[in-house]
Amino acid sequence: MKLRNFFALFLSLVLLMGLNGCAPGANSSSALITVKLKKTQELNTRAAAYWSESKKPQQIGEPVSVVEYAAPFSYGLQYPKTGYQSVDDMIAQAVAERRAAFDKKYLLPENLPESGKPSADTALFLRYETYLTEDGNLSLVLFEREEPADAAPVTQLYILHYDLAAGTAQKPEDLMWERFRENASAYTQKYFLETEPYKKGLFGDYKKTLASDSSTFDRFALTDDGVLFYFEPYQLFPGSYGLVRLIIPYEDMRAKAAPPQAAPDIAGFDAEKPMVALTFDDGPNPRNTGAILDTLEQYNAVATFFDLGSLVERYPAVVQREIALGCEVGSHSYNHKDFKKLSNAEISNDVKAVSRAFQSAIGQEPTLFRPPYGNTNQRVNGQIPMPLVLWSVDTLDWKSRNATSVMAAVKKAGNLDGKVILMHGIYESSAEATAQLVPYLLEEGYQLVTVSQLIEAKYGETPQPSKLYGYDYFQ
């Protein structure tokens, strides 16, 4: 019953009481109605108390409240309406399934009260919490409490995931990333062993519950601050600890499989003198990347190439020459998809495919990652086991396709010390621009360095995996 309907019933109760007052000894059917209304009122109070246990604020949606004192059982259910139709349909379906499972369970002969008949004092309560991440992932946490008429309550917790923009449900494994379980396992064990009041209540078999291959870490919510895990009473601690929540920050959940980045070689560069990094995306291209490499070789200069894994497979000799000339080679993804639109599992697959292509072509991993379109966010950064690099001077070479315009764009940028220049290695005009730009920059007194060398020598930092070196960094 919706709350609005309840108030209508409440009004009729008041009216009935008034009638009873006028006509003492009212018939038994109105007495029954009075009992039912009183029970409904009690149920409303119990449901409201249960619902208020949910953590606020809910990050999306308005609550739908259902209170029914009815045969065979009673229900006090609250769940969200997000305004996204297909997601709301799936949520309503999930709630209907919980309710059907409850009915089925408590109609079993062994669960009926002593009277042998289902009792409306057996009640199901449902409440929820919602978490919404910046990229539109909704984690819906459903808390369920079964209150049998004459047995102890039973509580359970379910977590459902939805992609709001796509209007689809997501499986937890689609949202996990490389070393997700391993990192969660290591973090929770350390945290609960070292932190009061948990360390003195931790059950002896905690290692089994918190093992990376246990189902414990299948159940999580993604929040703005990190990955939220719930531990139910008696799962890890005595019942007096209640429900335990733990948020693990994303930086602690990030893949750490990649070895720490080695410091790039900056011998031969003078950190006091101006330096600039040229970068070329979307290659390799045998002809135009080849011409760019000719120029670099002629002037004994280096640049950074952000290559596509699919083209690295096709033109390994070009990438081998990039390495041979002392250039840096980073990943620009396997085939230029927008990473903000990829699931964590898809990102992980891309990283693996690019790694295979690089290993096969040059026997080493890409040292950097430049997201296609420069599109990334905190979630994506967390999935990438390489430093993420954007740029600070955009030549718009892909748009002008004109060497003179590229030169003009660079000159317009003013002082280039510490900057990263964006170009594309696949256009003839960009190769022509490079043939003018390299001698120009050298004449102006700039040292040409790779991006990793720039971060190390100019900014005094060894590039870190999963960290974004964005537009503002290279100013």
Which residue number, 147 or 282, has a Cβ lying nearer to Ni ion? Answer: 282
The residue whose Cβ lies closest to Ni ion is: 281
Read off the tokens for 459: 């900014």
What's phi and psi for 67, nearest 5 deg?
Answer: -125, 120
- Which of these is catalytic: 88, 161, 163, 281? 281
Cβ of 20: how many Cβ atoms within 10 Å? 14
Catalytic (active site) residue 281: yes
Identify which of 338, 139, 137 has the alpha carbon closest to the alpha carbon of residue 221: 139
Q: How far apart are CA 310 and CA 444, in angstroms?
A: 37
**Residues 255-280, buried b or exposed e (16+ Cβ, 10 A)?**
bbebeebeebebeebeeeebbbbbbb
What is the nearest approach in angstroms of Ni ion to the Cβ of residue 371?
9
Which residue number, 440 or 471, has a Cβ lying nearer to Ni ion? Answer: 471
Which residue number, 42 or 338, has a Cβ lying nearer to Ni ion? Answer: 338
What is the nearest approach in angstroms of Ni ion to the Cβ of residue 358?
17
DSSP structure string for 390-425: --SEE--HHHH--HHHHHHHHHHT---TT-EEEEET
Which residue number, 163 or 281, has a Cβ lying nearer to Ni ion? Answer: 281
Q: Give the footprint of Ni ion on this chain (CB under 5 A).
A: 281-282
Q: Where does 164-263 show beta strands of DSSP type E?
A: 168-170, 220-222, 226-231, 244-249
What is the nearest approach in angstroms of Ni ion to the Cβ of residue 468?
16
Which residue number, 397 or 456, has a Cβ lying nearer to Ni ion? Answer: 397
Dihedral in degrees, nearest 10, Cα atoms 104, 106, 108, 111: 160
Cβ proximity of 462 and 259 under 8 Å: no
- Which of these is catalytic: 161, 282, 397, 424? 424
What's phi and psi for 91, nearest 5 deg?
Answer: -65, -45
What is the nearest approach in angstroms of Ni ion to the Cβ of residue 290?
19
What is the nearest approach in angstroms of Ni ion to the Cβ of residue 186?
36
**Active-site positions?**
281, 424
